[in-house]
Structure formats: C-alpha cells, structure tokens
Amino acid sequence: MLEKQIIQLPEGIRAAINDAYRVEELSLITELCDKAALSQQQLIDIKNSATKFVESVRAERKKSTGIDSFLTEYALSSEEGIALMCLAEALLRVPDSATIDNLIKDKLSGGDWKSHIGQSDSFFVNATTWALMLTGKILTPEKAQTTLAKSLMKLVNRSSEAVVRKAVDKAMRIMSKQFVMGRTIGEALNRAKKKEAQGYRYSYDMLGEAALTSIDASRYFEAYKEAIETIGKQADKDSTVYRRAGISIKLSALHPRYNESQHERVMNELPPKLLALARLAKEYDIALTVDAEESERLDLSLDVMERVFNDASLDGWNGFGLAVQSYQKRAFYVLDWVAALARRKQRRIMVRLIKGAYWDSEIKKTQMQGLKEYPVFTRKVFTDVSFQACAKKILTMTDAIYPQFATHNAYSVAMILNITGDYRDFEFQCLHGMGNELYQQVVPAERHGIPCRIYAPVGSHEDLLPYLVRRLLENGANSSFVNRIVDDNAPISTLVEDPVEKAKSLLHKMNQNIPLPEDLFQPGRKNSKGLDFTDRTERARLQQKMAQIKLQQWSAEPVISGTTTLIGEKQRLESPQQTENIIGTVQNASLQDVDQALKNAAQTFPDWSAMPVKDRAACINRFADLLEENQAELMTIACLEAGKTMNDCIAEVREAVDFCRYYSMQAQQILSEPLRLTGYTGELNELSLHPRGVVLCISPWNFPLAIFTGQVVAALATGNCVIAKPAEQTPLIATYTVKLMHKAGIPVGAVQLLPGPGETIGAALVADKRIKAVLFTGSTDTANLINHTLATRGGEIIPLIAETGGQNAMIVDSSALLEQVVVDAVNSAFGSAGQRCSALRVLFVQEEVYPRTVALLKGAMAELVVGDPRWLVTDIGPVIDKTALTTLKNHVENMKKRFEIIYQCPLDESLESGYFMPPTAIAIDHINALEKEVFGPVLHVIQFKRKDLDKVIKQINATGYGLTLGIHSRINETVEYIRKNIHAGNCYVNRNMIGAVVGLQPFGGEGLSGTGPKAGGPNYLTRLCHERTYTVDTTAAGGNASLMSLPD
C-alpha cells in the first residue's frame, strides 16, 4: 500500500538530512551552538561593527522614502496596520467598484489614521497616511477635529466615491512600488541600472504563487524563459556569472502538483522544464537559483535539482544555485549534500543562505497534522544560531559553493564580514525595497566593498499581492529586526546580542508559547498523533506494516458480552474500489442477539455507572492509546472497507482518538463533583449529572471509525452502557474497534456490537423500551423514522441526538482570493469523494469574478487524481457502493438535460471494477434545482449579483438544512452579515469547510441537519445524563452557625 513500488529508505547524506527533519529541537541547537561558536575577540569586534551599522541606519532613516519607516509607523500590532494589510492584499484585485467601496469602508472606518500624521519623519509614511485619512474622514466625520482634518473634509465633501477610491488605490500603489522592481522584466532592468552602478547585483523573481493549474504552470515557464532571454541579452559580455544579473525560480510555479505524493509524475514532468531553463541560463552564462519553499517539499526539490544538475549539457557552468533556509532543522546537513553534488561534477553551486519565509505556516501545519516535532526552529534566536553555523560551514566549502548570505540583520552582516576575513569571493543579498540603509554601509568600495545582490520581484499588481502580504507580515511584526532597527525605542544592545550566548540560556526549556503538537491541548488532554507522509523513512515503515496487515482476512460478527456469536450465514464483503476483492465476511446479528445484548447491558449498568468517573476515563484513554498503537491496522481496514484515501484514513484515526480524550476530559470535569449552586444562607443546593442506562449508537459508513467511536465513548464516559449498530457497509472496522475497547479494560457488557440491517436489527433496538437514548448519524429520512418510532413506542420520552445531512453552501464575493477559493472549494466538494455531511454542495460566486473562478475550477479539477485509495498519489477514491454510484450518475444525467456541465474528471478504464464517480461541477441557476442532498463528488455552481446577496441567503435558508457554510470575503462586514443571517451549525471563513476538529470546531447542524448538541463540543455529554438537584436546609438542627460566625 501507499505506493506501488517498495519505498526505499534514504541513504548516506540524504539519510542524515532525513534524520534531522523533525529532530528534537534542544538537542540539535546544542550541537549547532558548538558549530556556530566564535572567539571572545570576534564577538567584541562583531558587536562593535553591528552597533555602528545600527547607528548609521537610524541616522539615515529620516531621509528614507522606503518601506522600513512605513513598517515602524504602522506596526503590525496596531489596528490600523492590520487593516492596511488586509486592504493591500485585497484591494487591487477587486474588479467592481461596489465591493471596493465596501472594502475601503470596512478596513478604514475603524482605523485612527489621524493619529499617525506627523508621527514619522518620512514623507512616504505621511503621504500614505493622508491618503488613507482622506477616506477615514469621509467615513467618520466626527473625528474631524483638527485644522488639517477640517481642510481635508472640505476636499472630501466635494469629492465623489470614485475620487476616494482613487486616493486609496494610489496609497496602495506607492506601497507596492517599494516591493516590486517593475511590471515587466524590461522595466525592472532599466530601473536596476542606478543601483548596479553603485555595486549592487540583481536576481529577478517573476511574481506569482504556486501554479494551481497546468495553464498557470505553462504561463510561469514562458515568463521565466522570456526573463532569462531578456536578462541574458542585456548582460555585460565581459563580466562573469557571479557579477551578472540572474533569475530566481520557484519549482511550484512550474508544476501544478508539486508535492511529495505526486513524486513519480513530478519527476517525469518537472526536470525537463527546469533543465530547459537552466540550459538557456547557461547559454547566456547568467545565474539561475531555485527558491526554497515549504519544508514538506525539500526532498522532492533535492531530487529534481540533482537530476537537472547532473545533466551533461550543463557541465562547466557555475550558475546553478539554490536557497537554503536556516530556520529548517535540516539546513546544516543540506549543505553537505550541495557540496557533494558540486564536487562530483567539479563545479560550484551558488547557495543563497536565508532565514526562511514560511515560518508561521510551518508551525500551524505541524500543529494541525499532530506531528512529533516542528521542521523549523521555534525561536528566532535558534534560527540565528543555525544561520551562523551554516555560514561558517559554507566558508569551508568554497571549492564547491559560491556563498550568498541573505539577511537584513545588522548583527548577521557584521558576523559574516568578521568570519570571512580577507576572503572576498562571496556576496550579500537583500530584498528589493528593504535594508537599503544597512547595505549602504557595506557595498561601497570606501566601506567594505562587498557586493549585495537584490532579490527583485517582477510582475503585475495582481501577482504582487500574496508576495506583498508575506513581506509585510514577516517584516512588519514587532519582533522583526527590520522593524526594530529603525525603531528608536528599541535599545541597540538588544539588536547586537550574540545569538549563541542567548540560545544557550534557553537550552533548558522548551518554548512555552509554541508547545509541541502533542501538548497543544494540555493540561486538559493530549493531541492525537498524525503521520508525516512527506517523511520517506516514516512512509517506508508504514508501508512495511500495511503490507503484512492487508494479507489478512477480516471478519465481523456480533460481539455480545465479549464473545462472538457464530451462528448463521456469513456474507462476503467486497472492497468499493475493486469489487472482485473480497476483504472479509460479516455475520449479522439475530433478534435473539438483540434481546441478549440488552439483558447483558442492563446487568452491567449498575457496576459501570457506579465506577468513579476517573476510572472510566482511564479506560477510555487506554483505548485511545490502543487506537494509536493500531494505527496501521485501522488505516488498512478503513481503506479496504470504506474506500478511504490514505490522508482520510489517518484523519479518521486521529478524530477517533481526539473524541476519546476530549470526552474523558469533559466527563471528569462535569461528573466528578456536584455543581454547588449559589443561594440563600443556611441552605445547600447542588446539581449533579447521572447516566441514563443503555444507549443505542447507530453510526454511518462515511466515518466508520471516528463517528462510531465518538458516539460510543461519549455514552461510556457518562456511565451509560452501549449497544453499537454499525453501518451495514462497514462492520469490519467496528468489530476491530470494539475488541480494542475490551482490551483497554472497558467491561464486555458495557459495550456490545450488533451488525445488521437497519430495517431489522436497528428497528428492533429503537423500538425496545430498554433503550434510554439514541445517538444517530445518517440521513434525515432515517432520523425522522427513528424519531417517529420513539414517539410511538410508549413509555418515557428519551433523548435522540441526530446528526444528518445538509445542502451546504459557500458564498464568494469579489474581494476573495480566487486561487484560495478554488483550492478550498475543490477540497470541500470532492475530498472523501464528497461523502462527508459537511461537504460543499453549492458554490455561490459573485458575477464579476465568476468567469475567472470557473476557469480556475476547471483547471484545478483537471489535476485531480481519481483512483485506488491504497496509493498515496490518489486524491479521490470510490463512493461506497453501487446504489450510491447509480444515484449520483442519475443525478448528473438529469442535470445535463437542463444545465451546463462545467467540468467532469475523466476516469481511467482500470477503475471500471470499482464504484468510482468522476468529480463533476455543474452550473445551475437556483438552489431549488436540487430536490435533496446529493451525497457525492458533485458541485453545483451559481453566479449572483452583489445586490442580490439577501436573495442568496434566503435561498440557502429556504432549503431547511443548516449544517455547514463557507464564506470567502475580505470584508468583515460582509462576513458578519452572512454569518448572522444564515442558519448553519458550522461556519468557516476564508478556508475549506470540512474536517471539523474535536474540541475546536464542535460539529452539528440545525433544522433538517440535526437536533444538536454538537459532537466534540462542551454540551454533548450532558444530553446523555439525567440532572438531579439536592437541597438541604443546613439550619434544620437549629441555628445558622456559619452566618453567626461571620466577622463584622
């Protein structure tokens, strides 16, 4: 499983790199401190030099027209600074004036722009402030208190909204010019001449994020090609590759699926593209540097670069380069790989040593995936140590490496100048628009005479935005050196500290602000463990385990008081991805089994409910540990039985574990002690919770482990006994799971399993008065049937917690980032083959951005891999069975008669033996075109006019469902308006709308989508309990001693 070939473990230098991927931070930094150490005299000299640099920069900053002073003035921590970033990121791409007006009002009306006037000596900051304030005053005239404000108000009063838009747009363009060299490579080259004459060099970067579609990738390739030719033709023929301008390339821009799971395809398609660009760069003898990207892509990047670099057509060329991120734990070891690669070909490789640009996303992604360690350092000072250690190492490899030190940090510059001594064959690098004052102390011949290469983005304003925000976020943060070097309030001594000494003082403690993923929810509970599919060693070990497991034949049968009943005929179970593959057998329960299980549960209930809640919780936590120990087995069964992809399989196990630990924590909080209620003196009032009895748990096939486990452990944690009836399609994983529960110490009578048809076994259980509560996840129709049975069976009224389906919508206005919209829509609609209750069914797109959205949607869908879920390369697996497939196909055929098919993914002939439904997008005109929920990979797209937003909201509410809602907008007012007016249990903004996390996004809907309370939330367990109050008159024996003893 995982891959069709046996995954090879990394060897040699690559093994050392892999070992450092997520190595324990403090042990690594201890080692790097030794590697980075300098003599006492060096430290004194560096500190003195760095201090002079800072003093010079601060003296020069008053003359600055650059972004440095702007960042100080509008600190990221200020309300105005944040609004400005949101505006800069969204404003220039919004096509319609109405949305621009709303965006401006939303971001600027709350900002106190007036307070910034005169706060900075830089005309640049004040000019921008006035433009912003001009808008602020028209929106908040009550703040017009000063003379300047009054004079501006006169202008505003006679200005139209169009003029206001133009003023704000101008402010954004002033700011963007600070970061972007030119709209075209020709424009950038002309602008560079002045700096080049002063001793600076350039590396040009064609703006743009990762390619989403093949069309994007082709466009970026042509842009790189044109840029290389233009740079090359203007290059000084008498110069060298080290002095000439070069180009920087993002590999993710050249391939729409540039990630480890698509390794085989990437290695077939990407190296030829990179090689073509490298050959062109060699022809002109200019440098080509491969940019560093997210840590999960490093191994793939090394593979691509090695193949290209080794091509004989590049022999003799020393212009190939790559960026190494010192915030990555692997950086120190990557340098060994680079040097070995260069030496084998007797060439030099340019190495741009940088700190790293994706730190925040690396931290968040690791936390979300529940991985053991971070791939990057959690403290900035640790990154500084790594940078210093790597710099020293590079200088021992200059036969193989041409050093390029990229930094805006005065201490780092002083350190490099010190350790290089008389060696001159290297350069510094900085970002265009930043660090100018610092490098004016370094580049001129009368100073140090060391060249600095400027990393210069080239492209249109539309492509600028994500880059602009990244730079603002990195360098506008109050902790950033770029921000602090020009801040007179930051003591110079704090800017010129030895990072090694500072790091050593922190070696005894972890960063409490960034706990390890496992400890994210402590002290309450442990986080569930994830799997890193980008770690080749971890992947190889998992493959070995799963290869042994899949050879087993699985069986499912009734588990009654710990014993399996083997009377009756067994049915064979097929795999949905390969129907001729019989993966096991199931023996369904009988009506006699139902009766026996109910008797056993009733007998067990007194002892189980009387057990202290901490002991019940301990059993459940042991079960959680067993789930993690049996991770490979559970993933294998989920894949073979339910057709789940590998990513869905690990998510399923993790959610089950989180349910266990969350509910056991919750149970101890609410059940350990009665709640003392405040009241009259002389009286005791307490509220306590008590289990109900036997709870019936009916779980679905689409989450056969996670929801099954969540229902069962919630009932168990509250002291109830459970009879679990799994979905008919997925009894194997349920049987395996119940046996793990018993192994964990949960009494055999406390949880029993009865597989079988809902029409017989399910119906018999629901109708039996010994059932005291029902937990159900499934269709709305079945929930109504259960509700009717409970209402008519007589006896006490018992709780029914039903979680059903939804006609889930996402609303996209024209301020949204469309690339992100499409990524989130594709994941939400087609992930898990659309077989999630939360899946996106209807995408509403504002008409101004509808054509672009649809074009991107087509391109992104064309890149999806529909196939066997056993392979990691697969994005979309099968639907659950023939009935589901037939229903979906019939729906699409009916839609074709009335509406246009936007795109339907092609299916390979090899998939004909499984239940594969091609992901399909359909343009419809109204949500009423859908008579009911379409449970599969089918997305319906509707365009709307901005003025009709209220009609869209009414359409969605009129369906009667209320499960999940997605909103993509950069306008907070719009987001809040939609959120308040649409009835949805879970609302997601500017992200996908699936994958609710236990304890973070409690899941459940309203209306036709369920009864509540939400699963994985703080109110779920109380529904499974009786509430009892206890009142005692403490003065009954005579007198109120506690009152009488109160002091005066």
Per-residue H/E/C for 698-755: ECCCCCCCHHHHHHHHHHHHCCCEEEEECCCCCHHHHHHHHHHHHHCCCCCCCEEECC
Cβ pair 997, 658 in contact under 8 A:
yes
Which whole number is the average pLDDT over 883-897? Answer: 98
Q: Residue 758 burial by CB count (10 A; 0-12/13-18/19+): exposed, middle or buried? A: middle
**Domain tally, the chain:** 4
- The backbone region for 719, taken as left when phi is positive above 0, alpha when psi lies in -120 to 50, beta otherwise, is left
Residue 273 CA to residue 254 CA, distance in Å, equals 8
Q: Is 807 helix (H, G, I), strand (E, B) or coil?
A: coil
Residue 790 within any structural domain of the chain: yes
Which one from 209, 296, 803, 819 is the annotated catalytic residue? Answer: 803
Where residue 139 falls among pLDDT bands split at 50, 70, 90?
very low
pLDDT of residue 176: 67
Residue 52 CA to residue 48 CA, distance in Å, equals 6
- C-alpha neighbours within 13 Å on the C-beta side of residue 832: 23
Based on the fold, state whether residues 816 and 939 are members of the same structural domain: yes
Residue 581 within any structural domain of the chain: yes
Cβ pair 248, 455 in contact under 8 A:
yes
Kindly report which listed range (80-94, 402-416, 550-564, 619-633) carries the lowest average pLDDT score.
80-94
| Structure token digits, residue 908 | 């390979």
Cβ pair 397, 335 in contact under 8 A:
yes
List of residues 6+ apart from 511 with CB closer than 8 A:
378, 379
Q: What are the two backbone dihedrals, phi and then psi, of residue 773, each rounded to the nearest 5 degrees?
A: -165, 150
Q: Is 402 helix (H, G, I), strand (E, B) or coil?
A: strand
**pLDDT per residue as tens digits for the range 405-442:** 999 999 999 999 999 999 999 999 998 888 888 999 99
Based on the fold, state whether residues 848 and 793 are members of the same structural domain: no
Known catalytic residue: 697? no
pLDDT of residue 782: 97
Residue 1038 within any structural domain of the chain: no
Element (DSSP H or E) covering residue 787:
helix 780-792
Domain termination site, one of 177, 211, 241 = 177
Averaged pLDDT score across all residues of the chain: 90
Residue 510 within any structural domain of the chain: no
pLDDT of residue 150: 44
Residue 112 CA to residue 133 CA, distance in Å, equals 8
DSSP 832-887: GGG-STT---EEEEEGGGHHHHHHHHHHHHHT--BS-TTBTT-SB---SSHHHHHH
pLDDT of residue 48: 97
As a whole-number percent, the residues of the chain with pLDDT over 70 amount to 86
User: Is the pLDDT assigned to residue 42 strictly greater than 50?
Assistant: yes
Based on the fold, state whether residues 755 and 853 are members of the same structural domain: no
Cβ pair 255, 217 in contact under 8 A:
yes
Where residue 89 falls among pLDDT bands split at 50, 70, 90?
low
List of residues 6+ apart from 912 with CB closer than 8 A:
none
Residue pointed to by tokens 């002290």 = 523
List of residues 6+ apart from 913 with CB closer than 8 A:
578, 579, 580
Residue 67 CA to residue 81 CA, distance in Å, equals 13
User: Cα separations (Å) of 580 from 573, 776, 914?
Assistant: 10, 31, 9
User: Is the pLDDT assigned to residue 1017 strictly greater than 60?
Assistant: yes
pLDDT of residue 472: 52
Residue 156 within any structural domain of the chain: yes
Where residue 21 falls among pLDDT bands split at 50, 70, 90?
very high
Based on the fold, state whether residues 136 and 234 are members of the same structural domain: no
Which whole number is the average pLDDT over 268-277? Answer: 99
pLDDT of residue 144: 32
pLDDT of residue 99: 81
Which one from 86, 430, 452, 837 is the annotated catalytic residue? Answer: 837
pLDDT of residue 1040: 73
Cβ pair 857, 822 in contact under 8 A:
yes
pLDDT of residue 28: 98
Model pTM score: 0.92
Where residue 170 falls among pLDDT bands split at 50, 70, 90?
low
Q: What are the two backbone dihedrals, phi and then psi, of residue 895, each rounded to the nearest 5 degrees?
A: -65, -40
Q: Which residue has the higher pLDDT, 122 or 882?
A: 882
**pLDDT per residue as tens digits for the range 246-256:** 999 999 999 99
User: Is the pLDDT assigned to residue 149 strictly greater than 50?
Assistant: no
Residue 289 within any structural domain of the chain: yes
Kindly state the DSSP code that residue 1006 receives in the 8-state scheme: -
Q: How far apart are the first and last CA of the chain?
A: 77
Based on the fold, state whether residues 101 and 247 are members of the same structural domain: no
Torsion angle in degrees (nearest 10) through CA of 946, 950, 951, 953: 110
Based on the fold, state whether residues 94 and 42 are members of the same structural domain: no
Which whole number is the average pLDDT over 157-185? Answer: 66
We report the CATH number of the domain holding residue 760 as: 3.40.605.10
Asked if residue 1013 has a cis previous peptide bond (ω within 30° of 0), the answer is: yes
User: Is the pLDDT assigned to residue 136 strictly greater than 50?
Assistant: no
Which strands make up the sheet holding 920-923, listed edge to edge?
Answer: 900-904, 920-923, 938-944, 842-846, 809-812, 964-968, 986-989
Based on the fold, state whether residues 657 and 754 are members of the same structural domain: yes
Known catalytic residue: 721? no
Which whole number is the average pLDDT over 915-919? Answer: 99
pLDDT of residue 77: 43
Based on the fold, state whether residues 795 and 820 are members of the same structural domain: no
As a whole-number percent, the residues of the chain with pLDDT over 90 amount to 78
**pLDDT per residue as tens digits for the range 435-459:** 888 999 999 999 999 999 999 999 8
Q: What are the two backbone dihedrals, phi and then psi, of residue 732, each rounded to the nearest 5 degrees?
A: -65, -50
User: Is the pLDDT assigned to residue 158 strictly greater than 90?
Assistant: no
Based on the fold, state whether residues 580 and 618 are members of the same structural domain: yes
Domain termination site, one of 112, 145, 177 = 177
| Structure token digits, residue 952 | 């869209």
User: Is the pLDDT assigned to residue 609 strictly greater than 60?
Assistant: yes
Residue 389 CA to residue 28 CA, distance in Å, equals 12
Ranges 236-240, 512-516, 856-860, most confident: 856-860
Distance from chain centroid for Cα 181: 31
**pLDDT per residue as tens digits for the range 700-714:** 999 999 999 999 999
Residue 343 within any structural domain of the chain: yes
Based on the fold, state whether residues 824 and 710 are members of the same structural domain: no
Cβ pair 671, 719 in contact under 8 A:
yes
Distance from chain centroid for Cα 364: 7
pLDDT of residue 970: 85
Distance from chain centroid for Cα 178: 30
Which whole number is the average pLDDT over 774-800? Answer: 97
Torsion angle in degrees (nearest 10) through CA of 332, 335, 337, 341: 180
Please give the residue range of the domain that contains residue 267.
12-64+181-458+486-504
Domain termination site, one of 131, 156, 177 = 177
Based on the fold, state whether residues 80 and 49 are members of the same structural domain: no
Helices 161-179 and 79-90 meet at what angle, rounded to 10? 90
Residue 769 within any structural domain of the chain: yes
We report the CATH number of the domain holding residue 372 as: 3.20.20.220
pLDDT of residue 519: 97
pLDDT of residue 113: 52
Q: Is 558 helix (H, G, I), strand (E, B) or coil?
A: coil
pLDDT of residue 989: 96
CB atoms within 10 A of CB 1040: 14
Residue 375 CA to residue 334 CA, distance in Å, equals 14
Closest CA to 833 of 644, 646, 652: 644
**pLDDT per residue as tens digits for the range 957-972:** 999 999 999 999 988 8
Distance from chain centroid for Cα 961: 27
Distance from chain centroid for Cα 889: 32
Where residue 101 falls among pLDDT bands split at 50, 70, 90?
confident
User: Is the pLDDT assigned to residue 68 strictly greater than 80?
Assistant: no
Which whole number is the average pLDDT over 753-778? Answer: 98
Residue 28 CA to residue 19 CA, distance in Å, equals 11
Which whole number is the average pLDDT over 102-117? Answer: 62
pLDDT of residue 103: 72
User: Is the pLDDT assigned to residue 4 strictly greater than 80?
Assistant: yes
**pLDDT per residue as tens digits for the range 332-343:** 999 999 999 999
pLDDT of residue 70: 53
Based on the fold, state whether residues 799 and 884 are members of the same structural domain: no
| Structure token digits, residue 963 | 């499960």
Where residue 683 falls among pLDDT bands split at 50, 70, 90?
very high
pLDDT of residue 64: 54
We report the CATH number of the domain holding residue 976 as: 3.40.309.10
Cβ pair 856, 212 in contact under 8 A:
yes
Closest CA to 113 of 101, 127, 129: 129
Where residue 145 falls among pLDDT bands split at 50, 70, 90?
very low
Residue 971 CA to residue 966 CA, distance in Å, equals 14
List of residues 6+ apart from 656 with CB closer than 8 A:
624, 627, 634, 705, 706, 708, 709, 710, 737
